[in-house]
Structures are given as structure tokens and as C-alpha cells.
Amino acid sequence: MISHDHHFKNLFLDFPEHALQWLQPEAMIQYGKLEKITFIRQEPGKHHFSDRGLVLDMPILFSFQKGSLLLWIVEFQEERKSFSIYRLLRYSTDMMEQFPNAVVIPTVLFTSRRRWHKDVARHLESRFGNRLYLHFEYQLVRIIDYRARDHYDTDNPLLRILLPKMDYAKQERVEVICRAYKGLFDLVDRRLFDKYVDFIDVYAEVTKEEQSVIYHELSDREETAMLAQYIRNKGYEEGIQQGVQQGLEQGLREGARQEKISTLKRLLQRKFGPLPPWVDDRIDHASKDRLDNWTERLLDATSISDLLSD
């Protein structure tokens, strides 16, 4: 089983407004037009040197037309047992101290499709007599609680990408993945399509046999003919027809790696200015995991040499 990782974080990095529209639609109704999105450094300061770092996945600061600030803390979890409400409380209060004028909304997104036999703690409370001294709760979201069929035609690309992680009957699986492909193709540019079609395949755990069935299903439908042509033009058809799943996955992953290279170079240029030739060469030959590691550490890097030294 594939565990949650930085890919879900990247999903929210690429679609922060769509994520807000999905999980906090009241924000724009109450606060007006969204004007600015700021991604906050992940790790708050420690109170003591002996404290363990409190690292969660995604603090996002939204600034609205009416001058309101909303700090949305999103923690991604694959397994229920890995979640700690106490860790989330400490992190949330640290963020409240750092951003006293913002409304802080802690959110935990569980990504596994497995059903739970035991719930997680939903809130914390401390009372004495008639007085309530502490109350803490958060927004709990389980993707499996969403029925895929209800979102087949949504214009939110984030939800289309997540369709295979939602609830659906076994006989709907091919249709769900086709709808995810089509929504992604129709709603985003080709750069993001190439990036997240791999995400869909990996997290849906699409098999070799399913790849062939899905491709022919797309080819046979008039409304997905352009999508099938695009896939064919990129050389995916040959891999499917030959049944060489390894070659297909390699092509998809290399495309994703090239996208990571382009993104990292663009962010480095924005932060440090023109890149020397040795940086281009090191990045061009880096593995996918190393590119991910460098991108995640970029916000805290003080120099290019320090960032790329490992």
C-alpha cells in the first residue's frame, strides 16, 4: 500500500484556491475575493532546545479583499494511528501566536481508502465545575467519505484528481479513473496534466491490464478522443499495446522528473538570481527523490551550495 507523502502536499501547493473552495467554501463568501496566498514555513520555533520539532504538512495564509486573514493548517495522514491531536494542538497554538490576527483552522486530511474500525480523537476539553478551561477541535476530512460518482462532473480539478481515492464500487473503477483523466485534461494546462496523470496512476495503483482497458475506453469515446490522441502523441500507446508497463511508468516518471527540474530551477532563480552552469548540471542529473528533497528544503536554504551539498 502506498503511504501519504509530499505528493499530496504538492497537490495543495498547485491548487490552493481549489482546495479552499472544496473544504472551506464559506471563506470567500464571508471574506470576499481572495487576493493573496502565502505558504508558511513548516516548522514553528521550539520552546526549548530539547523539544522535538513540530512539523506538519501545509500551513497556508490566505489574504482576502476585506482585509481578513485565514491561516489554514492542513495535515495529511495515510494511517489513523499516526495522527496525534495533541501534536496538532501544540502546532495550532504556535501558529496562533505567530499570526495573532488570523483565523486559524486546523484540518486533517486522511487519504487512505481503508474503512476505520476505531475513530480518532475529534476534540479536547478541560472542565472544572461549571467552567470550561480549554476546548480544541479541528476539521477532519476523509477522502473515502466522498462518493466518486457525486464528483464526476465537478469543475474543481483537485477533486477530479482525487476521484480514485474516493468511495466507489468495484465495477466503477475504470469509469472513475477515466473521469479523473478527462477532468484533469479539460481543466488544467498540459504541464499540470503531465504532472498529475502520474499521481492518478500511482495512487489509484493502476495495473498493467487496467492501463490497456482505460486507454481503449478513452479511445472509443467521442468526448475523450482528444485525450486519447494526446496520450498517443506522447508515446504512451506503444507502451500499452506492447504491454510493457515498466516502459510506460518510466516515461511518465521521467516526464514528472523533468517538470520537477523546471520547477526547482525557476524557484532557485527567483530566490538567488541567475544559476551558474554547475547548478544546472547537478540538477539535470539528480534523481526524483533528490529533486523533491531540494524543493522541500528550498524555503529554508541560505545559499545554493548549501542546498545542493548533499
Residue 51, pLDDT score: 43
pLDDT the model gives residue 47 = 41
Residue 273 C-alpha cell reads as 538570481
Q: Please spell the DSSP secondary structure of 172-241, one letter per residue.
A: GHHHHHHHHHHHHHHHS-HHHHHHHHHHHHHHHT--HHHHHHHHHHHHH-GGGHHHHHHHHHTTHHHHHH
- Distance between CA atoms of residues 120 and 85, nearest Å: 8
Three-class SS of residue 33? coil
Q: How far apart are CA 28 and CA 32, in angstroms?
A: 5
How do the pLDDT tens digits run along the chain, 310 residues long?
444 456 788 888 899 999 999 999 999 889 999 999 998 865 444 444 344 444 446 789 999 988 888 989 888 888 888 889 999 999 899 999 999 999 999 999 998 888 888 899 999 999 999 999 999 999 999 999 999 999 999 999 999 999 999 999 999 999 999 999 999 999 999 989 988 988 898 888 888 888 888 888 998 998 998 998 888 777 554 455 555 455 556 666 667 778 888 888 888 888 888 888 888 888 888 888 888 888 888 888 888 888 887 6
How confident is the model at residue 251, as a pLDDT? Answer: 61
Instruction: Record the pTM.
Output: 0.69
- Cα 95 to chain centroid, rounded: 21
**Sign of the torsion formed by the C-alpha atoms of 269, 274, 276 and 281:** positive
Per domain, the residue ranges of the chain are 6-145, 148-243, 254-298
Q: Residue 249 has what pLDDT?
A: 60
The pLDDT value recorded for residue 85 is 94
Q: Given this model, what pLDDT does residue 100 score?
A: 92
pLDDT value at residue 113:
85
6: cell is 509530499
